[in-house]
Amino acid sequence: MPVIRFVREGRDVECYPGENLREVALREGIELYGLKGKLGNCGGCGQCITCFVDVEGAPDAALTAPTAVEVQKLRRRPQGWRLACQALVQQSLAVVTRPQAGLADRDALLAEALSRPLPPGPLAWPTPVEAEPEDPEAGVEAGGTTTSDEANAEAPQGR
């Protein structure tokens, strides 16, 4: 499972691959929003641009590619910033929440966070398990009797 290393909070949080970064943070009680976002945010629609995170140093594949709305909304923000509500976690990464608020010793904290190993998370998405082909003998129990489902299906309908 991928691990999100929240640098400001000093916490590592596991999540499922494909989970939304904003939802993981909120579930874990991580404060994503500054004052403006606390007073009112869009609930994860990509419209309020208050859920900034800085993912500088993260592998490109750690998050899904920026969405079109995210590219448009972040065009004047530093490279490495993402909108947490638009990013799905694919691999482990370190994240600085509320980068707009500043963080004393940010560079040192981020370097330290990136120096400690993180599990890579899944290297590939799980492939769906193929369903077994239907067995025509399925449902016929030993001795040639049928299951109750088949008996019900064969029972006369009506009345």
Contacts with ligand FES by CB under 6 A lie at: 41-42, 44-51, 83, 85
Question: Least distance (Å) from ligand FES to the CB of residue 36?
Answer: 10
CB 70, min distance to ligand FES, A = 8
20 or 91, CB closer to ligand FES?
Answer: 20
Least separation in angstroms between CB 128 and ligand FES: 30
Whichever of 49 and 118 has its CB closer to ligand FES, that residue is: 49
CB of 86 to ligand FES, least distance (A): 7
Residue nearest to ligand FES (CB): 85
Q: Which is nearer to ligand FES, 19 or 118 (CB)?
A: 19
Q: How far is the CB of 24 from ligand FES (least distance, A)?
A: 13
Cβ neighbors of 92 (< 8 A, separation 6 or more) are 2, 3, 4, 5, 62, 118, 119, 120, 121
Count CB neighbours of 74 within 10 A: 18
122 class by beta-carbon count within 10 Å (0-12 exposed, 13-18 middle, 19+ buried): middle
Which residues, in sequence order, are CB contacts of 119 under 8 Å at separation 6+? 1, 2, 3, 92
Which one, 46 or 80, has the nearer CB to ligand FES? 46
Q: Which is nearer to ligand FES, 85 or 118 (CB)?
A: 85
Half-sphere exposure (Cβ direction) of 63: Cα atoms closer than 13 Å: 26
- Nearest-angstrom CA–CA distance, 86 and 2: 17
